[in-house]
Amino acid sequence: MLVLKFGGTSVGSVENIITVKHIINDGNRKVVVLSAMSGTTNALVTFSEYIAETESEKALQCITTLQALYSETIQQLFSNHILKTEVIAYVGTVFKTLETAVNTKHTLVLHNTIVAQGELLSTFIFSRFLQQEGLNARLLPALDFMRIDKNNEPDNFYIKQNLNRLFNANPEADIYITQGFICLDAEGEISNLNRGGSDYTATIIGAVLEAEEVQIWTDIDGFHNNDPRFVNNTKAISNLSFDEAAELAYFGAKILHPQTVMPVRALDIPVRLKNTMAPEAHGTLITNTIHGEGIKAIAAKDNITAIKIKSARMLLAHGFLKKIFEIFERYETSIDMITTSEIAVSLTIDNTTYLDAITEELERFATVEIDNYMSIICLVGNTIIYHPDTPNLFQVLQDVNVRMIAYGGSNNNISLLVNTSDKLETLQKLQRYVFEAEPIVV
Ligand code: ASP
């Protein structure tokens, strides 16, 4: 069994929906996980925010515009009158329900129910389209099997039992379509796996089914060696290890949801990143096998806050780090980078929800300095910290204002903290020296 996930752009236009049909129509049995059509989740989030702000007019305007896009797509996609009528009725009910939500009390469950509609719409439309085209496909509702536990981790036992039950009830299909991103929480309420979570859905399903391979189809030909939004001449990377992919996904490479490789890594199920717009391109294959050496890729993550915690009493004292970590633990705030000196600790976080409370607690025993608008630039490659060319990196960076460096935390990663205003220049400089110029680093 294969699991194929298609992102928002892949199902975001009539042309691309037809392309996806061709890609999946190869006679192999598969599960197809779909995102919402591109722009839909953002629009639904905005809609939900307007409801929270009791901006009813703006909220209604937002979904009217969205509904018009759906009407147009349906008109172009369906020639079968019965199926077209069925899809129009379904989409109409979804938008009617959204409309009635406008004047209700805004809660987390309401928000999650609203943002779930994108995947519910795309999968309904796509499954009926496949039916029109004569493909043997079944829609398996994700809310009938995908659930997270109290710690927001996939409830694998529940997922396996229920997914198998659904397969057994629909044994004759070739293609099983389901929603990415959405799930139930431990209380049985609608929830989700966070933005971009459809990738994670695909690998959770892949692991449960012990799939041959999980394919993530997007609009770029795999992981690139630098961020193509900021740097020219980036190249797709053909092979990555799970470790390398996990570091890149976490530290900013937008192509993959950070948790994607977790479910499949221990089972050694390959993850292949493919481009719907260029299906013949190799893409990136992520496995346990290590390929190449030296710096393989560079990625950047914004919205980082650096916290410097300084205590005169840290000198020769023990237990200082424990005290600090306990505070972050209590506020469920994870730390990304950390460096220490004898009298101070600098660390970074990306979730500032509890920053004020954390600062207040830290200030009881230390002085605290906070720097916002920082970016982590992450360099990834198998055992890069031992590579003979890696020290040259510091020469390259001599005129970049680096606030922190994490070197040696893992063998595959070097992280630099810079002001976001210096990010572009740093990425471009690294690109020139690492991948283009005289071979400072192979
Ligand atoms: N539709 C969701 C989002 O835009 C999930 C996904 O696309 O993976 O974040």
List, as one string, the DSSP characters of 247-303.
HHHHTT-TTS-TTTTHHHHTTT--EEEEETTSTTS--EEEES-----S--EEEEEEE
Asked if 396 and 437 count as a contact pair (C-beta separation under 8 A), the reply is no
Which atom from ligand 1 is nearest to the alpha carbon of 257?
8
Structure confidence by residue, pLDDT tens digits, 90-100: 999 999 999 99
Q: Above 60 in pLDDT, residue 440?
A: no
For residue 199, report the distance from its CA to the centre of ligand 1, in Å: 9
Summarize pLDDT for 312-350 with one digit per residue, the tens: 766 556 788 899 999 999 999 999 999 998 889 999 999
Cα(397) to centroid of ligand 1, in Å? 36
Place of tokens 């199926």: 83
Strands laid side by side in the 335-340 sheet: 335-340, 344-349, 297-310, 367-380, 413-419, 402-410
Query: pLDDT, tens digit, for every residue of 20-70?
Result: 999 999 999 999 999 999 999 999 999 999 999 999 999 999 999 999 999
Distance, CA 349 to ligand 1 centroid (Å)? 23
d(CA 166, CA 58): 40
The alpha carbon of 65 and the centre of ligand 1 are apart by a number of angstroms equal to 19
Residue of 123, 195, 199, 255 to mutate, ligand 1, most atoms within 8 A of C-beta = 195
Mean pLDDT of 369-393: 90
35, 122, 205: residue to mutate for ligand 1 pocket, most atoms within 8 A of CB: 35
For ligand 1, atom 6, the nearest C-alpha belongs to 196
Q: Average pLDDT in the 182-197 region?
A: 96
CA distance 369 to 441: 35
How many A from CA of 354 to the centre of ligand 1?
26
What is the C-alpha separation between 99 and 335, in angstroms, rounded? 40
* Mean pLDDT computed over 404-419: 91
Q: Name the burial class of residue 374, with classes exposed (0-12), middle (13-18) and buried (19+) by CB atoms within 10 angstroms of its CB.
A: buried
In this structure, are residues 201 and 146 in contact, taking their beta carbons and an 8 Å threshold? yes
pLDDT of the residue at 434: 86
Q: Rounded to an integer, what distance in angstroms lies between the CA atom of residue 33 and that of residue 139?
A: 10
Which residue's CA is the closest to the ligand 1 atom numbered 5?
196
- Ligand 1, residue 201: give the atom nearest the CA: 8
Mean pLDDT, to the nearest integer, of 276-305? 93
- Report the nearest atom of ligand 1 relative to the CA of 7: 7
pTM for the complete prediction? 0.90
Please tell me what DSSP assigns to residue 435.
I
Single-letter amino acid, residue 124: F
- Chain segment 129-187, per-residue pLDDT in tens: 999 999 999 999 999 999 999 999 999 999 999 999 999 999 999 999 999 999 999 99
Measured from CB, residues less than 6 Å from any atom of ligand 1 are 7-8, 35-36, 41, 118, 180-181, 195-198
Q: How far is the CA of 357 from the centre of ligand 1 (A)?
A: 31
pLDDT digits (tens, 9 = 90+) for 105-128: 999 999 999 999 999 999 999 999
Give the lowest-confidence range in 186-195, 222-231, 251-260, 319-328.
251-260
**Residues across the chain:** 442
Tell me the CA–centroid distance for residue 36 and ligand 1, in Å: 6
